[in-house]
Amino acid sequence: MTRTLSPPAPPVLRLESLTRRYGPGLVAVDDISLSLAQGQILALLGPSGCGKTTLLRLIAGFEVPDQGDLYLAHRGAAGVRTLPPEDRDVGVVFQDYALFPHLTVAQNIAFGLEARRRRGRLSAAAVQEQTAEALALVGLAGLDRRFPHQLSGGQQQRVALARALAPRPRLILMDEPFSNLDTQVRVYLRQEVRSILHQVQAAGIFVTHDQEEALAMADQLAVMRQGRLEQWGSPETVYRDPISRFTAEFLTQANFLPAELGAAGWQTDIGCLPQDLITWVGLEPARGGSRAEAMIRQEDLDLVADHQGALTVRDRQFLGREYRYYLTTASGQGLYARLPVDRSLTIGDRVKPLVVPQQVRMYPLGHSSTHQVVAEGKAQ
């Protein structure tokens, strides 16, 4: 039996070598290429100043790239490099809500639709229908006559989302939309935005500098660094196999331990790791005497009480579902480990570290980015 297979749908968005410079020394977006399938959410993670907002502004049409082009499936095969924002059919949600204070909720949501009506693209009935639909989608039915100041922050951001969704775009861009909200509201809205976008089959790019939020939102995850895409893939892949120390540090907050390759394997402060079981991330093969840094994620470092152990417990934080331990090696190197709460260790205890070698990744020396991470307030 033969079956006709329909060709795969083209990506909703495709970026090709997109570049935006602000003056000779500053490449805010540097040669970025990626694509996004229909209905998928791409979480774009990176420290402050790495070019996330500039990239969104290029896609939305508020900026024109110096080089490269972008393609939107619903705009045909031609690039949209210079197409104005209103002709791109892309919804945008900003960090600061950007609602009109003198307009009601319904008027705010209808704002973009009204502009289309004036240009003869939409009937008055369609404006009403799409406004009501967007209101219901974000769970604000009944609040349509309120003004923004009569709403909570979370509700205001829902209005902003409804305004972006009302024209039924194929693509929604969200620039740190929850960063002004309380943790509880943020966590709730993450799930809600994911559900809504999946429900209407819109693709989304969700920008954040919060690794937990990025993982929570992502169907696909992209890590950005100094204008460039450092890594891009499924959240599981990027988390499990960061291609650089930067990604590992930023996304997983892993421990890094100096290591040197000896006859028995990689020698570290917490013992010897067998070379053949450990993945080396980098180009050059390791030889005897090679120096590197071993990445051990906090959740991959297991501890057992042992008077002869290589680590000393220095601090313990109760995080509800787990304890987070701060430990030091004999040479003073600090490490973090996360253990279930029923595995309580006492401050001052000596402990033996247990590591599954297959979970360790070895990185070349000299690619640290701790300063950027600390500046963002994300270092633990």
- Contacts with ligand ADP by CB under 6 A lie at 22, 26, 28, 46, 48-54
- Asked if residue 244 binds Mg ion (CB under 5 A), the reply is no
49 binds, among ligand ADP, Mg ion, none (CB under 5 to 8 A by kind): ligand ADP
Q: Which residues on neighbouring strands pair with residue 42, listed in sequence order?
A: 205, 220
Supply the minimum distance, in Å, between the C-beta of residue 176 and ligand ADP: 8
Q: Which is nearer to ligand ADP, 26 or 136 (CB)?
A: 26
**Residue that the structure tokens 């590197």 belong to:** 292
CB 52 → ligand ADP: shortest distance, Å?
Answer: 3
Residue 319's φ and ψ, nearest 5 degrees, are -110, 20
Which of ligand ADP, Mg ion, none is residue 48 near (CB under 5 to 8 Å by kind)? ligand ADP
Residue nearer to Mg ion on the CB measure, 19 or 104: 19
CB of 209 to ligand ADP, least distance (A): 7
9 contact choice in Mg ion, ligand ADP, none (CB below 5 to 8 Å, kind-dependent):
none
Q: Among the candidate windows 24-32, 49-57, 111-119, 182-190, which touches Mg ion by CB under 5 A? A: 49-57
Binding to Mg ion by residue 53, rule CB under 5 A?
yes
Residue 22 interacts with which of Mg ion, ligand ADP, none, CB < 5 to 8 Å by class: ligand ADP
Q: For residues 50 and 161, which CB has a smaller minimum distance to ligand ADP in the complex? A: 50
Q: State the Cα–Cα distance between residues 59 and 1, nearest whole angstrom.
A: 44
Q: Which is nearer to ligand ADP, 51 or 148 (CB)?
A: 51
Q: How far is the CB of 354 from ligand ADP (least distance, A)?
A: 38
Q: How far is the C-alpha of 43 from the C-alpha of 211, rounded, in Å?
A: 10
**Distance (Å, rounded) from C-alpha 205 to C-alpha 42?**
5
Residue 369 is a binding residue for Mg ion (CB under 5 A)? no
Report yes or no: 224 and 46 within 8 Å, Cβ to Cβ: yes
Give the nearer residue to ligand ADP in terms of CB position, either 10 or 49: 49
* Position 220, amino acid: Q
User: What is the rounded distance in angstroms from the CA atom of residue 116 to the CA atom of residue 128?
Assistant: 13
**Residue in the structure block whose two tokens are 């033996």:** 352
Which does residue 54 touch among Mg ion, ligand ADP, none (CB within 5 to 8 A, set by kind)? Answer: ligand ADP
| Rounded Cα–Cα distance for residues 155 and 139 (Å) | 9
Q: Give least dist CB 204 to ligand ADP, A.
A: 17
**Cβ pair 107, 131 in contact under 8 A:** no
Nearest approach, Cβ of residue 116 and ligand ADP (Å): 28
The item of Mg ion, ligand ADP, none sharing an interface with residue 245, based on CB under 5 to 8 Å by kind, is none
Identity of the residue, 46 or 167, whose beta carbon is nearer to ligand ADP in the bound complex: 46
CB atoms under 10 Å from CB of 144, counted, come to 18
Task: Tell me the three-class secondary structure of 96-156, residue by residue.
Answer: CCCCCCCCCHHHHHHHHHHHHHHCCCCCHHHHHHHHHHHHHHCCCCCCCCCCHHHCCHHHH
Task: Say which residue the tokens 């990176």 belong to.
Answer: 46
Q: How far apart are CA 294 and CA 136, in angstroms?
A: 50
Q: Residue 22 or 318: which CB sits closer to ligand ADP?
A: 22
Q: Which stretch binds Mg ion (CB under 5 A): 52-60, 74-82, 334-342, 368-376?
A: 52-60
Q: How far is the CB of 206 from ligand ADP (least distance, A)?
A: 13
Q: Give residues with Cβ within 8 angstroms of 161, minimum separation 6.
A: 93, 138, 172, 174, 177, 193, 196
Q: Whose Cβ is closer to ligand ADP: residue 166's or residue 172's? A: 172
